[in-house]
Amino acid sequence: MPLATDDFLDIDDVTPAELDALLDRAAAMKAGDTDPRLPDTTLGMIFEKPSTRTRISFETGMTRLGGHAMFLGPDDLQLGHGEPLRDTARVVGRYVDGVMARLFDHADVEELAAYADCPVINGLTDEAHPCQTLADLLTIRESVGEDAHVAWVGDGNNVGQSFVVGAAMAGIDVSVATPADYGMNTAVFDRAAEFGADVEPTTDPETAIADADVVYTDVWISMGQEGEREQKLTAFDGFQVNRELLAETDAKVMHCLPAHRGEEITDDVLESDRALVWDQAENRMHAQNALLIELLGE
């Protein structure tokens, strides 16, 4: 199913049917459908933020698909020396077949997509992480099935915001527990409601995880928020995913990584057989490969 969108800036840039088809393709590719689909294809990868999973999964994925990925860090482009983003977008878009960008400001990836004459994929911004959501949904489909209830516990950050909308599109029930001052943008719940989801946020983690099949958390202090560390550690007291919180449930545990062990999640939970985090990490590549074929293929 060809995607109706030219760019993938957030999870609901695709339709629920397109999302389902992407996950089907990703599952097939993970199962062994690995024929090169993108020969002589180049993906330009623009990074403002450091990366482990995003860089390696896209770079390896493009190689497996028969193409090539080009890392473009802050010191590799004239962007770091004052060139306007729209100028870089116009030029890069004439050289490569697609762009993946991992940026701070979501408005920047939107500007990149507006001026680049090729598909643009959001590899993460401060507002959204749709590629992670693809991997998360694939992981849930594999491990507990789509008739699932997932509890998001912790910061209402970019990963959580994309996940809530993506889960709604996939028919997965979600509950959200965040500290009062660190909740998700209310527009996220409005977007989820468009797909039939009724997400009631709470400030009580125990309420959120009741009847959950999966408990999902992420770091409390994201890149660029290091100055808020002490304030956030105080605000998030009681939100740690640990054995005490999980004592009354047999729910699996998800984390998009990197994890700050001892803060949002304990080492013993992350290393337990509850953890799906390593499947999530692997599934970044499979889900993104499916997306790359749909956006960059014939």
Binding residues for L-ornithine: 158, 218, 222-223
Q: CA dist 53 to 123, 184, 246, Å?
A: 10, 24, 27
Catalytic position from the list 7, 10, 108, 132: 132
Count how many Cα atoms sit within 13 Å of the Cα of residue 163 in the half-sphere of its side chain.
32
What gap in Å lies between CA 83 and CA 99, rounded to an integer? 18
What gap in Å lies between CA 25 and CA 41, rounded to an integer? 19
Catalytic position from the list 97, 256, 279, 280: 256
What gap in Å lies between CA 242 and CA 263, rounded to an integer? 10
Catalytic position from the list 218, 255, 279, 288: 218
Catalytic position from the list 25, 37, 255, 284: 284
Catalytic position from the list 55, 129, 191, 255: 129
* Binding annotation for carbamoyl phosphate: 51-54, 78, 102, 129-132, 256-257, 284
221: tokens are 């202090």
Question: Has 102 been annotated as catalytic?
Answer: yes
What gap in Å lies between CA 162 and CA 274, rounded to an integer? 23
Pairing mode, if any, of strands 201-202 and 120-124?
unpaired
Question: Has 284 been annotated as catalytic?
Answer: yes
For residue 241, the 8-state DSSP code is B
What is the spatial order of strands in the sheet that 149-153 belongs to? Answer: 201-202, 173-177, 149-153, 214-217, 252-255
Question: 180: helix, coil or strand?
Answer: helix
Catalytic position from the list 37, 102, 141, 191: 102
Q: What is the DSSP string of 265-297?
A: B-HHHHTSTTB-HHHHHHHHHHHHHHHHHHHH-
Question: Has 132 been annotated as catalytic?
Answer: yes
**Which residues are identified as catalytic?**
102, 129, 132, 218, 256, 284
